[in-house]
Every structure is written in structure tokens, then in C-alpha cells.
Amino acid sequence: MDRVFHVKQSKLNKLVVVAIDGPTGVGKSTLARKLADRWRFLYVDTGAMFRCLALKWKVLGHPEEDEALQMLGDNTHIAFSAAGRVFCDEQEVSAEIRTEEISRLASRVSKFEVIREVMKQQQRQLVAETKMQQVYSGAVLEGRDIGTVVLPDATIKFFVDADPKIRAQRRTDQLLEHGQHADYIEVFNAIQERDQQDQTRAIAPLKPAEDAVLVDTTQLTPEQVLEQMSDQIFNLAHSD
Ligand code: DC
């Protein structure tokens, strides 16, 4: 108990970059946001970035040609407020990007190489700026390919997973909380479909990095997971 208290009160003694990957509904966003609050990290929800592109991709009629996808990536300005609101081309889209339709389209648009390349460069740029500006003690990025592709040199990588039934239940609860329609069976099937799509795509598929710490959240409360991850970040930051 003493040590947990000690960790909570302490500062990190070096800039830390945390990569969190895992499938949908494992609580990555909540964990990443809480870690960011605790350690004063920049928090980047990379799924929200793909979701912003999906919103515009839908309006464009789902083009698949490289040129159209490149224009979509290059001409979309994505920004986050400190409170986690999401802006696409200066318009707030925080709620709009969270529908099941946009979840499916984000998974589909994320398989294109051109799109992945643009996102990778933007995500790396956010980390480079964090390192330069030294306003934050580090950055935490969560997504599907952060530890494997975007930030292979991250200070620490976590791969968070949980039983698909638990994930479907959590996602259903989340949608209901946001006042959206949610049916457990539909959500379960949609999760299976998205997992399949994210894990089997040719470029940057969802998988744990070889050096990732595996975290199974099936039996744990968010607080327990947070303590585990926070402890590991603290230990790593003070290891040399
Ligand atoms: O984390 P999320 O559910 O908001 O992500 C939405 C989709 O975006 C997900 O199904 C796959 C894609 N994605 C990705 O391919 N790579 C990332 N780093 C993050 C998300």
C-alpha cells in the first residue's frame, strides 16, 4: 500500500512515451486518459483520428483510389482539446465519430496504406513536438499499431485485451451511457467483425509488439489495471 501511495505522489524523472494497443472495448481510452492525467502526459486517441477520416470518407462516397485517399489524409486537420474533445477541420465531432456506423467505416478506411502512412506521420509528429516543447512529462498514444509500427521505440508498450463477451458488454454500456441505441448481440457481432478486420489487414494489423507487456483486463477493475500500468511506468522511468 505504501508503495502505491509513493507512486501516486511521485514525478517521473524522464520523459516517457507510452504505447497502448488492443482491440475495441478493452478500456484503452479510459486507461490512457487516466494515465495522462496522473503523469501529465499528452493523450492521443489515434482511433479518433481514423474516425475523423471515416466521417469525411463517408461524405466522399468511400473512394478507394490512392489519390483520393491521399487528399483526404492531407486535407483533414484533426485536433484534440485538453479535455479530450475531438475537432475535425475546426468543427467539433466528439459525438458524431462514436456511432457504430463510423466505428465500422473507421476500421474499413484504416486498411489503406496511404491513410496509415499519413496517420503514422501525424502521430509521430505529435510525439516529436511533445519532446521538444517539454510542457508534458511524456505522451500516451493508444490504438492498434502504436507499439508495432508508429512508435517502435516507445519507452513502454502495453497490449490490453479482454474476453470478447466482456468487451461487448462494456461497449454496450458505453453506448447506452451516451444515449445511443445498443443491443448486446449486435454489438458482440460488430466487435467480432472489427477484430477480424483489424487483425487480418495486410498493413499494420492489430497484434502485440514482441516487447509489449500483456494486460488482460477481463477480471480486473479499471483501477486495478491503472495501478499495474502506472507502477510499471514509474519503475521504468526510474530504472536508470
Ligand atoms: O480505437 P477505435 O475503436 O476508436 O478505432 C477505430 C478504428 O480505427 C479501429 O477499428 C481500427 C482503426 N485504428 C487503426 O487501424 N489503428 C489505430 N492506431 C487506431 C485505430
Instruction: Say which amino acid occupies 70.
Output: Q
**Percentage above 70 pLDDT, the chain:** 95
- What is the CB < 6 Å shell around ligand 1? 24, 46-47, 50-51, 103, 106-107, 110, 143-146, 194, 198
CATH 3.40.50.12160 fits 16-218, yes or no: no
Q: Where are the domains of the chain?
A: 16-218
Distances (CA, A) of 48 to 13, 67, 165, 203, 237: 30, 23, 23, 19, 28
> Ligand 1 pocket test: which of 96, 126, 144, 207 has the largest number of ligand atoms within 8 Å of its C-beta?
144
Of the candidates 105, 113, 104, the one whose C-alpha atom is nearest the C-alpha of residue 65 is 113
Q: Are strands 138-143 and 16-21 parallel, antiparallel or unpaired?
A: parallel
- What is the number of the ligand 1 atom nearest to the C-alpha of 103? 6
DSSP category for residue 211: T
Tell me the percentage of the chain whose pLDDT exceeds 90: 80
- The protein residue whose alpha carbon is closest to atom 12 in ligand 1 is 107
Closest CA to 105 of 28, 189, 193, 177: 193
Confidence of residue 153 (pLDDT cuts 50, 70, 90): very high
- Cα angle 30, 32, 36; round to 5: 115
Closest C-alpha to ligand 1, atom 1: 47
pLDDT-derived band at 10 (thresholds 50, 70, 90) equals low
- 133: cell is 516543447
pLDDT digits (tens, 9 = 90+) for 57-89: 999 999 999 999 999 999 999 999 888 899 999
Q: How far apart are CA 232 and CA 73, in angstroms?
A: 35
- Is the pLDDT at 100 greater than 60? The verdict is yes
Average of per-residue pLDDT across 4-12: 55
